[in-house]
Amino acid sequence: MPGRVMGIDHGGKRLGVALSDPMQIIARPYTIIGRRAKVDDFAALRRVIDGEDVVKIVIGLPTDSRDEIGPQARTVIRWALALAEAVRLPIVFWDESYSSAEAESLGRRRGRAVDDVAAAVMLQEYLEAKDAQNDEPGTSLKALKDYA
């Protein structure tokens, strides 16, 4: 399905947002949204979704050192369940284990917050896996809802 894919790096204080191009080949940092109430966060994301013709959302899933679902990942899953109700778009999760470290490295050179860069790194990994598999990579929200 053509259209942009949105990548979200969910943090306690900020949401890093990245977007793909309409052909879903290249991800780029888009914006950083300061966290407030869910309703405000979702409204800000909805503005991006509507303005950029987003067709799918990929959320970074922070698994623990054993690749298991820990407390932080459960928080992200609960947040994503609420987001799914607000935006009515397909949502999948992608392991964000290495994207934050790579973004931090890039951010030190840029001298600013890197939440949007982390989202772009994570989204690019997802897009490349999607292209390589010619299938839907990641883990669906439905598959993880029992962890919430």
pLDDT in tens, 74-105: 999 999 999 999 999 999 999 887 655 555 55
The dihedral built from the CA positions of residue 78, 84, 34 and 63, taken in this order, carries a sign that is positive
What is the pLDDT, as a whole number, of residue 32? 95
Distance CA 57, CA 54 (A): 8
Distance CA 148, CA 21 (A): 31
Cβ-based neighbours of 135, under 8 Å, separated by 6 or more: none
Q: Between these two residues, 71 and 58, which has the higher pLDDT value?
A: 58
CATH topology (fold) of 4-147: Nucleotidyltransferase; domain 5 (3.30.420)
139 DSSP assignment: E
User: Does pTM surpass 0.75?
Assistant: yes
Q: Where are the domains of the chain?
A: 4-147
Indicate whether 112 pLDDT > 90: no
The helix or strand, by DSSP H or E, that contains position 54, with its residue range, turns out to be strand 54-61
132: tokens are 């390589």
* pLDDT tens figures, 22-61: 999 999 999 999 999 999 999 999 999 999 999 999 999 9
Our CA angle for 120, 126, 132, nearest 5°, is 135
